[in-house]
Amino acid sequence: DAGVIQSPRHEVTEMGQEVTLRCKPISGHDYLFWYRQTMMRGLELLIYFNNNVPIDDSGMPEDRFSAKMPNASFSTLKIQPSEPRDSAVYFCASRPGQGTEAFFGQGTRLTVV
Amino acid sequence: GDSVTQMEGPVTLSEEAFLTINCTYTATGYPSLFWYVQYPGEGLQLLLKATKADDKGSNKGFEATYRKETTSFHLEKGSVQVSDSAVYFCALSDLGSGGSNYKLTFGKGTLLTVNP
């Protein structure tokens, strides 16, 4: 398996624009997570899915953020409108079940100018 | 709620020095414990894990023992190399109340720099 695949690897956008980050989890993994990493806050869990259903979105910072998982092999994280404070590295991770380790993608470095 | 506390960095060592990165946790259930490593520009990779008390996880010369009595999972390596320079994260996965919590909770990370 190729692992968790995220795209794009880098994104530079202007404030106010819509940004969509994409993730393909490892096949057969039931859980998918979106994390955000910044120097100030470290690694923050934004939302996670189980069998394509959002379970906990309490980490989503505000209504500008939304995430979907239309099927078992694809998820998106959308920011609309984007703001400079959204600049961070966004990671997607998947895991096969409870108590197991999560496998991380390479991340998307988002810069909002 | 669940939480992970790990020692503040950065940690700077000379090659072949002994490494300890402390990690303690708070959990409502009986968690699985993990150490992840993040090299510059990359995602997090699992370094080692332990799923029950007194288990010792080990990989690439790193070790950590699950200590339920002290709620700790300290990372150690007897002789570090320059290539070990990275950020290290302690994490837990807890079933929580009712077995409905499957998320991973991470510490803030510890930056390790090893000089030749």
For A107, other C-beta atoms within 10 Å of its C-beta total 24
- Determine contact: A2 vs chain B, CB below 8 A: no
pLDDT at A109: 97
Name the closest residue on chain B to residue A105, using Cα atoms.
B43
In angstroms, the CA A64 to CA A104 distance is: 24
Q: What is the pLDDT of residues A70-88, one digit of tens each?
A: 999 999 999 999 999 999 9
In angstroms, the CA B31 to CA B51 distance is: 7
Percentage of residues of chain A with pLDDT beyond 90: 84
pLDDT at A39: 87
pLDDT at B100: 53
pLDDT at A1: 66
pLDDT at A97: 80
Q: Give the DSSP letter of residue A15.
A: T
Closest partner residue to B102 (CB to CB) among A93, A98, A106 is A98
Name the closest residue on chain B to residue A97, using Cα atoms.
B102
Report DSSP letters for B35-98, one per residue.
EEEE-TTS-EEEEEEE-STT-EEEETTEEEE-BTTTTB--EEESS--GGG-EEEEEEEE---GG
* Average pLDDT taken over every residue of chain A: 94
Residues of chain B with pLDDT under 70: 95-101
CB contact under 8 A, A33 and B104: yes
Q: What is the pLDDT of residues A17-42, one digit of tens each?
A: 999 999 999 999 999 999 999 988 88
Q: Are B91 and B38 in contact (CB under 8 A)?
A: no
In angstroms, the CA A80 to CA A62 distance is: 10
In angstroms, the CA B57 to CA B75 distance is: 9
CB contact under 8 A, B43 and A105: yes
- Determine contact: A58 vs chain B, CB below 8 A: no
In angstroms, the CA B37 to CA B81 distance is: 14
Closest partner residue to B109 (CB to CB) among A31, A42, A100 is A42
